[in-house]
Chains A and B, each alone.
Chain A
Amino acid sequence: MSRGEKSPLAAHGVAPSYRIVAVPAAVALGAVGAIAADHAGLPWIVGAFAGAIAAALGVLALPSIPTRRATVVLLGLGGLAALRHASFAGNDRSWLLVLWAAATMLTLVMVDRADAEMVPALEGGAPLPSRMAETARVGALVSLIVMVAAVALVPSVTSRLGRKVWPGRSPTDSDLTSSPSSLQSSPSLDLTSRPRLGNAVVFTVDASHADFWRGETFDVYQGSSWSSSFDQDTDEPLTNTGSRVVVDAAQYDGGTANGTDFRQTYHVEAGYSDVVFAAPNPREVETDKNLMLAPDGTLRVGDPNIPSKIAAEGFGKGAVYTVTSSRRSVTAETLREATGEVPTFINETYALMPVTSGRVVELARTITQGRTNTYDRVKALENWLGDNTRYSLNAPLSPRGVDVVDDFLFRTRVGWCEQIASSLVVMARSIGIPARLVTGFVPGSRDALTGRFVVRERDAHAWAEIYFPGIGWQGFDPTASVPLSGDAKSSGSWLSAARHNAVPLAILAVLLVIIVAALPEVVAAGRRRRARRASWSAQTLHRLERVGRKAGRARAPSETPREYAAALADQLGDARLVEVGATLDAALFSAHGAPDEARERADAVLTSL
């Protein structure tokens, strides 16, 4: 096409400045099309191609619709598709969502710029900045604003407005069999097999701070496995009153009385789970499921009328439940001072000498020699394990029939959390300290965008719990340093506090911006108002108009004050209004203004009316 020749696109009415808009629009719809295709099980490239073509045609080839309108409608459709498929996290397509957002924003910038270019340039005026420079500058600034808003607001909006209870999908038998063992309640824990530790997200947690998400406890050590002394058949069914289950925490952990509440909302991502994970110690659960409470405080989903585990009784993908835990705030000093009497039930269940070798007992005694209180003795054991053993998921498995703790402490000294925590529990119990093994999950990584703790299969963990008289069970672990509740409270940063209060802070920020932006206008309006107040003619005209409105004769836009006053004089039969009009005229337009006496007479006339 030679220079100056009209292009086919121009012939269709699309101005050249708009053509470039088709590029980001195609990227935006292509990105969202890829997500949609992936969600539908189609190759993502098909969706990307379809979206991009639709956008390009919409922007460039709809001659009967203004380009701006066509583009905005397309972006709106893309936005709806993004909302529809945003929650789909298959194959980790979240980067496509980010790409959609960036391309949408750039499209808006470019289409507005194209609109501006359609306005004729002011003769002698300054040219607009280059299209690319403006797009880049504005794109960077708006992206920054969007990112700050998303990070600040999304977690708060979700946690404040989001549902705390949701049934989720009903799990199938296939979900049950494919679910990792760490999510399923079990009467025993085998120490001679390697756990499944994949990258799949098992659940996410909305919580103000990190904690260990506790699942089950085990108190009977059998050399190569742990089991619970409480049969699941003896679990107590809990009453669900309107999606709320109250758990009497004090009955299995007397130390939880007068604790501080800690609320967590769990969003199940795995296909099946029947363990109710909770930070210690749950006192209330919001859920639509029936729950069972074991004497050790373990909560699981179940129905007393259905003895065997079935898939439909568990949490499925998408299920949401909220736990309120109560935990007394403690520090190392409080634990050192906890020297009261241990309840008989605790002693008989958790402080019995475990079945292990004599050298394990001897080692425990040696390590804790000279320590006078439970806390210092446990810390000594924990420190020794930290100093003398090594954490590795590739540690060799202990042979069957061998005491795993003995083998770990005296032969390999390499193991993962189950071996290390088992060693701590067994050694503690061998010197008379009530202890038990706990399985669950470490807090996981906190999502920068949503503020949620994302917990994956590989975050499955085992640690020890030690009983302190008057305080209750406290977690200890040399591999993952379980925080004391008192320490956990103090670990919050100003940033986390800001995030937690993001909504009020954001509202405050928006108000500040509005105030600052509107301040000049408000000041100017005030000046204008004061000027109007100071002007006798404006005030008098206003009074005259008020008199007219009362009489049902408003001033027409084309009427001068003199004409209006004359008309009112006729209508009201009061000739004095004619003079009011003349005085107003003089005040408004005469170089000398209206005489004071005339003003006073006009005021008197209007007051009398």
Chain B
Amino acid sequence: MNADPAAAVNRGPGAALRGTPTHQGPGDLTLTSIVLFTLGAYGVAAGAATGQEAVVAVGIFAFTLFATGIIWPIVSIARLRVRAVAPTDATVGDTVVLQVDVRGRAPRVDIRALDPPGTWWRTSAPASGALPHSAVRRGVFRSVRVQLRTSAPLGVFVRTRTIRVDLDAPITVAPRPVAAPAVLRPVPEERMAAGPALLPRGAGDTVRTVRPYAPGDPARLVHWPTSARRGEIVVREHEPPPALGVALVVDLRGPRPEAAASLAAGIGGATLAAGGVVWCGTNEAGERVGATVANARELGRRLARAGPGEPAVPPEDWPVETVTA
């Protein structure tokens, strides 16, 4: 997969120019080609030297198969076009299934995803199918590289063609979280008013008041003494529990940005799972970005876009956990 140049700062400068070394040449000659070329050269030379047309004919036959076996795969694969659709989210190490659409006509073609090179799969074109691909790098990817190959029909020459396929929607590959403890420390109340999504899950145990029963209230909240005193059923309303959470400051300017991103994902994920609030401060495409995240997916997306650079400053009074590369 190839990172979006505008967004994939997380992979470090120059990451888009790197890549696992793969076969990029136009193709490979096979043992068959060597045999046919040798027969052709020997036949034409020996036949011409002695004037024996039959020997020349054998040589021409071998040469013709040699030439046809090279030109045919080149021509047949040159006309193929590929489209691909990828899921929007993935985590490093996941196997992503790309829905590929091979257009053009070729009776036999093998296809695989690159970066890293995957397994070859055979099909006949035109075709649509599911192409498994390993997500090995964190980032936001707008294109994938796909390789097509064929040696049809004679197996003389294996023509390989690499195609960069633009995705309809980019795929965001989040870092794989490492096991880390949740960080649950009190956070300022005013941050809690930012929106209901930030309210911690579950109720506290301090009773703030009572109110008349409304259908749907759980029976365990009925305050029987007061109900008996008032002559109507009332239920307890509790004080919300104190807000707990952490401000994650992710600084990827060191030598091990991926490990840092994974650690941040682990801490943030554990904190969110424990009902805590997570504020995440990163540097995305040269800009400092800081905001609370609603869930693990959003945290993953933020970390996928994170790159080396000065991270955003956390809000005042928040407990800060700095993760450095």
Contact residues of A with B, CB < 8 Å?
Answer: 68-69, 72-73, 75-76, 79-80, 82-83, 86-87, 89, 94, 97, 101, 105, 108-109, 111-113, 115-117, 119-129, 134, 138, 142, 145-146, 149-150, 153-155, 157-158, 160-163, 166, 265, 267, 320, 447, 449-450, 452, 510, 513-514, 517-518, 520-521, 541, 557-564, 581, 584-586, 588-592
Contacts and interface: CB of A to CB of B under 8 A. Distances in A.
Contacts of A138: 152-153
A86 B13 contact: no
A115 B155 contact: yes
Contacts of A514: 71
A557 B18 contact: yes
A560 B32 CA distance: 42
Contacts of A162: 47-51, 56
B227 interface: no
Contacts of A591: 6-7, 285-287
Nearest to A592: B286
Contacts of A518: 74
Contact of A557 (B21, B52, B74): B21
Contacts of A160: 48
Most B-side CB within 10 Å, residue of A79, A124, A521? A79
Interface in B148-167: 151-156
A182 to B, nearest CB: 23
A105 B61 CA distance: 10
B46 interface: yes
Contact of A586 (B32, B67, B286): B286
| Max count, chain A CB within 10 A of own CB: residue among B12, B14, B46, B122 | B14
Given A86-B52, A115-B155, A124-B130, A560 B14 contact: yes
B154 A86 contact: no
Interface in B53-99: 53-65, 67-69, 71, 74-75, 78-79
Given A86-B52, A161-B48, A154 B78 contact: no
A157 B48 contact: yes
B257 to A, nearest CB: 11
Contacts of B152: 112-113, 116, 138
B43 A83 contact: yes
A587 to B, nearest CB: 9
B122 A125 contact: yes
B39 interface: yes
Interface residues of B, number: 80
Contacts of A158: 47-48, 51-53, 56
B65 A142 contact: yes
Given A83-B58, A157-B48, A589 B307 contact: yes
Interface stretch (B103-111, B269-277, B315-323): B103-111
Given A101-B61, A105-B65, A146-B68, 8 more contacts: A68-B31, A72-B35, A76-B39, A83-B39, A115-B155, A120-B120, A121-B122, A158-B51
Nearest to B107: A129
A589 B48 contact: no
B44 A157 contact: yes
Contacts of A149: 60-61, 63-64
A129 B105 CA distance: 12
B135 interface: no
Contact of A112 (B49, B64, B155): B155
B74 A121 contact: no
Contacts of B71: 513-514, 517
Given A157-B56, A158-B48, A589-B285, A79 B78 contact: no
A563 B51 contact: no
B54 A97 contact: yes
Nearest to B44: A157
Contact of B286 (A109, A129, A447, A590): A590
Ranked 5 nearest A-B pairs via Cβ: A560-B14, A125-B123, A112-B155, A161-B48, A125-B129
Contacts of B31: 68-69, 72-73
Contacts of B15: 560
B93 to A, nearest CB: 21
Interface in B123-140: 123-131
Question: DSSP majority for the A interface?
Answer: helix
Contacts of B16: 588-589
Contacts of B44: 157, 161
A97 B13 CA distance: 63
A385 to B, nearest CB: 38
A101 B62 CA distance: 9
A589 B49 contact: no
A595 to B, nearest CB: 12
Nearest to B153: A138
Nearest to A123: B130
Contact of B122 (A80, A116, A157): A116
A137 B131 CA distance: 29
B128 to A, nearest CB: 6
A94 B54 contact: yes
B158 to A, nearest CB: 10
Contacts of B9: 589-590
Nearest to B49: A163
A126 B125 contact: yes
B206 interface: no
A153 B286 CA distance: 66
23 contacts: A79-B35, A83-B58, A86-B43, A86-B47, A86-B55, A87-B54, A89-B54, A108-B155, A109-B154, A120-B121, A120-B122, A122-B100, A125-B122, A125-B127, A125-B128, A126-B126, A150-B57, A162-B49, A560-B14, A563-B14, A586-B286, A589-B9, A590-B286
Nearest to A206: B51
B13 A154 contact: no
Contacts of B68: 142, 145-146
A546 B166 CA distance: 31
Contacts of B130: 122-124
Nearest to B286: A590
B42 interface: yes
A94 B129 CA distance: 49
A399 to B, nearest CB: 46
A76 B155 CA distance: 14
B72 to A, nearest CB: 8
Contacts of A452: 53
Contact of B5 (A83, A121, A560, A588): A588
A163 B78 contact: no
A89 B8 CA distance: 72
A545 to B, nearest CB: 11
B123 A126 contact: yes
Nearest to A87: B52
Interface in B281-325: 285-287, 307
A561 B38 CA distance: 47
Contacts of A116: 108, 110, 122, 151-152
A338 to B, nearest CB: 39
B51 A163 contact: yes
A160 B155 CA distance: 32
Contacts of A447: 53
A83 B154 contact: no
Contact of B38 (A76, A87, A155, A558): A76
B51 A142 contact: no
B119 interface: yes
Given A86-B54, A153-B60, A517 B78 contact: yes
Nearest to B130: A123
A112 B21 contact: no
Contacts of B14: 559-564, 585, 588
Q: Count chain A CB atoms within 10 A of each CB in B7, B51, B78, B111 and give the residue with the most.
A: B51
A86 B57 contact: yes
A142 B154 contact: yes
Given A120-B121, A128-B108, A449 B57 contact: yes
A73 B39 CA distance: 12
Given A154-B56, A557-B21, A590-B285, A75 B35 contact: yes
A150 to B, nearest CB: 5
B17 to A, nearest CB: 8
